[in-house]
Amino acid sequence: MKEYEVYSSLKVPKNSKIIVRLDGRAFHKLSSDLELEKPYDETFYNVIVKVCEDLFREFSPVFLYTFSDEISLLLENIPFEGRIEKINSIMASFTSSSFVMNYDATFKKPPAFDSRIIPINDEDILKYFKWRQDESWRNCVNSYGISYLKTKYSNNEANDKIKGMKLNEIHELLFQNGINLNDVETYKKRGIGIYRKDKKVEGFNKKENKNQISYRSYVYTDWELPIFSEDFFKNIGAIK
Ligand SMILES: Nc1nc2c(ncn2[C@@H]2O[C@H](COP(=O)(O)OP(=O)(O)O)[C@@H](O)[C@H]2O)c(=O)[nH]1
Ligand SMILES: [Mg+2]
């Protein structure tokens, strides 16, 4: 019967880095079930970050990026011998379990995440994360925009209005009404990243009888990300 498992040998390209992107399934519904704060719910964000830290510890990506209900991991060491079915199913179920374990909430339905794999060249890594970070910014402007419009109009009218507006028009409308997105927390605009950083450790070398400085890396959760640039990815060792 083994021969019926026709997808089990499907693998990612050899010697390629990959990005795995996870996305919460129907989290629009989950956010209304849990009555999440709009536009940004602090508890939800703290849980997603705990999930990301679990993923980071388990799969050691070079870089992890999250905003809203999505998480991207850049992987250099490919798990499960590159087997697509394994990577997608285990990453998605691990993420869903971690989400439930970290959330002190009663769910109406079991939360789930989908997972997809994107093989990627070094030249496209910046392009990919810039694309997601732009989406984070669009999401920020839209979320604040719709929240504001719903204080003035019915839900349907607010939804119709925002559909016809450009990003800078929403930005301007908010500004005219005393909401300056420049003052909003960085993570809401640019997302959150996790990567390894070096820590300076001062020790004493007994053999040589002298003080010694060494560096140890640790996992760092960055709530104050810069706008992504080539330098950023070089500094964290994601590209050469
Ligand atoms: N209220 C609230 N909702 C959020 C927050 N973060 C994410 N969401 C919800 O999650 C959804 C994620 O978008 P998307 O993946 O496109 O929609 P999905 O298909 O319903 O999961 C958003 O539309 C929001 O409804 C938050 O901080 N507060
Ligand atoms: Mg989703």
pLDDT tens profile 29-79: 999 999 999 999 999 999 999 999 999 999 999 999 999 999 999 999 999
Give the three-class secondary structure for 41: coil
Please check whether residue 90 lies inside any domain of the structure. Answer: yes
Report d(CA 191, CA 132) in Å as an integer: 9
Q: Tell me what percent of the residues of the chain surpass a pLDDT of 70.
A: 100
Ligand 1 pocket: which of 30, 32, 36, 162 to mutate (most atoms within 8 A of CB): 36
Higher-pLDDT residue of 20 and 214 is 20
Closest alpha carbon to 70 in 27, 124, 31 = 27
Per-residue confidence at 193, pLDDT binned at 50, 70, 90? very high
Please check whether residue 77 lies inside any domain of the structure. Answer: yes
The predicted pLDDT at position 6 comes to 94
Please check whether residue 52 lies inside any domain of the structure. Answer: yes
- Which residue(s) pair with 114 in the sheet? 23
What mean pLDDT comes out for the span 78-104? 98
What mean pLDDT comes out for the span 158-178? 95
Residue 20 CA to ligand 2 center (angstroms) comes to: 15
pLDDT in tens, 116-148: 999 999 999 999 999 999 999 999 999 999 999
Please check whether residue 237 lies inside any domain of the structure. Answer: no
Q: What is the CATH number of the domain that holds 90?
A: 3.30.70.3000
Per-residue confidence at 191, pLDDT binned at 50, 70, 90? very high
Report d(CA 77, CA 64) in Å as an integer: 14
The predicted pLDDT at position 89 comes to 98
List of residues 6+ apart from 174 with CB closer than 8 A: 141, 144, 145, 148, 180, 181
H or E segment and range at residue 195? strand 192-205
Q: Which domain holds residue 22?
A: 2-133+184-190
Residue 31 CA to ligand 1 center (angstroms) comes to: 6
Report d(CA 75, CA 19) in Å as an integer: 6
Residue 39 CA to ligand 1 center (angstroms) comes to: 9
Please check whether residue 229 lies inside any domain of the structure. Answer: no
Structurally, how many domains does the chain consist of? 1
Ligand 1 pocket by C-beta < 6 Å: which residues? 23-24, 26-28, 31, 36-38, 40-41, 44, 68-69
Which token pair is 72? 């991207």
What mean pLDDT comes out for the span 104-112? 97
Mean pLDDT score of the chain:
96
Please check whether residue 76 lies inside any domain of the structure. Answer: yes
Closest alpha carbon to 70 in 32, 44, 90, 38 = 44
Per-residue confidence at 11, pLDDT binned at 50, 70, 90? very high
What mean pLDDT comes out for the span 165-180? 95
Please check whether residue 45 lies inside any domain of the structure. Answer: yes
Residue 219 CA to ligand 2 center (angstroms) comes to: 26
- Phi–psi pair at 75, nearest 5 degrees: -115, 130
The predicted pLDDT at position 132 comes to 98
Please check whether residue 210 lies inside any domain of the structure. Answer: no
Burial of 6 (C-beta count, 10 Å sphere; 0-12/13-18/19+): exposed
